[in-house]
Chain A
Amino acid sequence: MNVSRRKKSIIQAVSILSITTLLFGCSNPNEGADNKKNKDTLTMAWPRDIGEMNPHVYNPSQLFAQSMVYEPLVHYAEGGKLEPFLAKSWDISKDGKTYTFTLRDDVKFSDGSTFDATIVKKNFDAVLKNKALHSWLGFISKIEKTEAVDKQTFRMTLSEAYYPTIQELAVVRPVRFLGEAGFPKNGDTSKGVEQEVGTGPWVLDEYKADQYATFKVNKNYWGPKPKVKKIKVDIIPDAESRVLAFEKGDIDLIFGEGAISVDAYNQLKVTKSYKTTMSEPVATRLLIMNTKKKQLADERVRQALQYGFDKKTLVEGITSGLEAPADFILPPNLPYTSKLNVEKRDFDVEKAKTLLDEAGWKIPDGKKVREKDGQPLQIEMMYDAAELVQKAMAETLQSEWANIGVDLKIVGVELPDQVQRFKDNKFDINMYSNFGAPYDPHTFVNIIGTDGFGFKEAISAYPNKTELLQDMKDVLKTTDETKRQAMYAEILPSLQDQGALVPISYLKKMAIYQNGVTNFKFAANRDESPFAQIGIK
C-alpha cells in the first residue's frame, strides 16, 4: 500500500468514525422524545424543565410538577371552598392566633414512612429557616411557634390574627410536605433534598434535564388511585413545536395559560379531531390608572375612559373566546368576591364624551384631541411587549379612545421593566393581572395597601384612600366571617367604582387533548396539576 492510499484510507476511517460519533454520540437511542402509543402513559408537553422536585423552593421548579408529588394540609376547591386534605379538621382559637390541626391517620409517604405531626413540624421548621424568602405568604412571617402536640395533632401559633392562614396553606409552595428520607442532615431543604419523597399520587420515576420527566403512581397513595400508570412530561420550549408534536400524535395533552397561541388553539378546535376545554376564571386582566397623573386624577376622566371602549368586542375579538369580558376586578369564583355590588360601566360613547366635557377637556375647533388649559389629553399605556394579547388590546384601546378625543400612546416594555416602572410610579396606565386562586382576594388587597408595589401610589387621588387602606389592613385580622364578608363588600367595590382599577377580562387556562384522553378537569387552584382522575383510552 503506497503512502497516498494509506492516507486516504485513514481519512476515510476518521470521517466515518466522526460522523457515527456525532449521530449516535451523547445519546442513548431509547431516550427519544417521540413516544410509542401506550395506553398506560399520558404524555404532555411543557415549555420548561420541571426543575428540582423540592416542595420548599421556587423557580425553576414547576408548580404543576411539585403539586403532583407533594400535598397540602388544606385543599382549595371550586368557588374558593377550603376543604380538609392532609388535615382532616382544624380549630382556630377565638383570638385568631392559634391553629390546631388534626391530621389524617391513613397517610403514608411514597417510601412507606408515616405522615404525622412530627414530620409536619419538621417541614414547617425547614420553611421557617428562610422566613424572609417566604414572607410574601402573609402567615409565614407571623408564625411564632410550631408544635407536634401528639401524633395526629399539629399546632401553630401566630403573633397576631391573620384570617387567610387556612387559604394560604392550600398554595403549592412552600408549605407542602417532604418525607423524613428527603431531608438533608442539617434539615435545611433550601439547598436541595436527598430524595423526592411526598404523599402525593405521583412519584418522580425518570428525569432527564431539559428533555423529559416521567412520573409513576405512588403505590402508597392514601387517596383514590390515578387511572393512568405514568405521566410523561416532554419539554418542548417552543409553542408552535408543541402544536406540531401534538398534531403528530406524540403528545396527548397541552394545557396551561397561553400554552399555545390563540390562533393555533382555534385552528385545532375547528378540526374537531381533538377535545378542547377552558377553565373557570383564574385571574383578572386589569387596567391600572395612575391617579397621581394630572389627566387621570379626575374621576370623570377615568370613568369616561371606561365608557369609551367596547369591552365585549375587544375581549372576544382579540382572544377569540379564550378570555371572557370581566365585570369585576376579581373573578367572582374566589372567596368573598361573589355577589358584590359594583357600578356597571357599559360602552357608551356619548356618556364618555359628556364626562370629558364636564371635566373640562374640550375639543378645540379643527383638532381631534381634547385639550384643557392648552394641554392635550395625552395618556401613555405600557404593556408587556412579549404578550401579544396585551399589545392587541393596547392598540384597540388606542383607536377606541381616539374616537372620544383621547390621544393614547402605547409603549411595549419587557415584563421585568413593566414591574419596575409600575413600582416606581412611572406610568399613566398599566396592564396588570392579579394572582388569582388561591391567593386572592387577600393578596390583592394586601399588595394594594402595601408600599413598594405601585398600587398604593396609583390610588392616591381616591378621597377615601386613608380609610380604604386601613380597612385593607384590618380585614386580614378579622376573626368574624360575617364581618369579613361585609368588609370585602365595602373595599372591593370602592376600589373599582372610583375607576383606577378597570376590569378587562377573566384569564382562563386552556387545554387541548387527544380524543383518547378522559376525565380531564382543571383544578380550582391555579397552580395545581389537573391529573387527579385523568385517564387514557
Chain B
Amino acid sequence: MMKKWGYPLSAVVLGSSLLLSACGSAETAKEEKKPEAAQPDKPAATETTANTAAVDLQAPIDAYRKWVIEQTDQLVKATESFTAAVKAGDMEKAKSEYAPARAYFERIEPIAESLGDFDPWIDAREGDVPDNEWRGYHKLEKALWETKSVADQGPVADQLLQDVKQLRVKVESVEIDVKMLVTGAVELLNEVSTSKVTGEEERYSHTDLYDFAANVEGAHEIFKVLKPALDAKDEALSKEIETRFAELDAALAPYRKGNGYVLYTELKEDQVKKLSQSLDALAEPLSKMGTIIGG
C-alpha cells in the first residue's frame, strides 16, 4: 500500500465526478477528456499542467491508460482464480497464485491510489488501518501463511474480488495527467525502497520481490510512454534512465526463479543492500522526468 495519501487530489475529485456523470463508460469518459479545462471547480495547478502538456503529451497518456486497463483486466482474472481457490479451501493453489495476482495491482498502484480508498481496501497491511476495517490481499496472506486456515475467509475473498472489479470500472475514467505519471513513476520506486526492499510488505509470504519487480515494471511502463517526449527535451537524461532500468533489471535477475522470484528471506544482507542501491541509482534520474512538463 502506498504510504503517502496526498496523491493529486484533483485527479481523485475529477475522476469521481466524471465517473458519476458519465456512468463509468469508457467511451463517454474519453469524449469528456478534452473539455476539462472548462470546468470551473478545477484546481489551477492541474489546469496549467494540462494546458502546457496537452498538445505533446496526450498520446502517452492514452497509451498509459490503455496499459492500465489491460493490467486491471488481468488483475480481475487473476483475483477471480485466487479468491476461488481461497473459497474452495485449496491452500496450495491460493498460495501459488497470491504473489503473481498481486503483481498486476502493484504495477498500477499510483492509479489505484488516486482513486480514493482502493489502495487500502485491496492492499492494506495489518496495522495500516483499524483492525475491524482490514480487508484485502494481505488479510488473506496472513490466513494462508500465518494462521494457516482460510475456512472463515470466504467473505474477505468475496469483498476483495468485488473491490478489484470496481477498480476495473473506475480506471476507465480515471483522470490521468502528465504530472501524475511523472510523480507516479517515482512513487512506485519509493514504494520499493520503503517497504519492499525491507521485507515489510509481505511479512507472512515473503514474496516481496514479486512486488519489487512489479513496482519497477510499473515505473518502466510510465517511462516508456514518456520516453519520446523526454528524448526531445533531454536525451542524456532519457538515456541515463534507460541504462539504470537495465542495470536494475540485471540486479534482479539472479533472484528470478521459475516464473517468479526467490523469497525475501533467502536474500543476504549485502544482496538487499545492492538491490536498494540500484534502485536509488534509478530513482534519482527518474525524479527529473518532470522536466518535460512546461518550461
A and B pair up = no
A residues near B, CB below 8 A? none
B residues near A, CB below 8 A? none
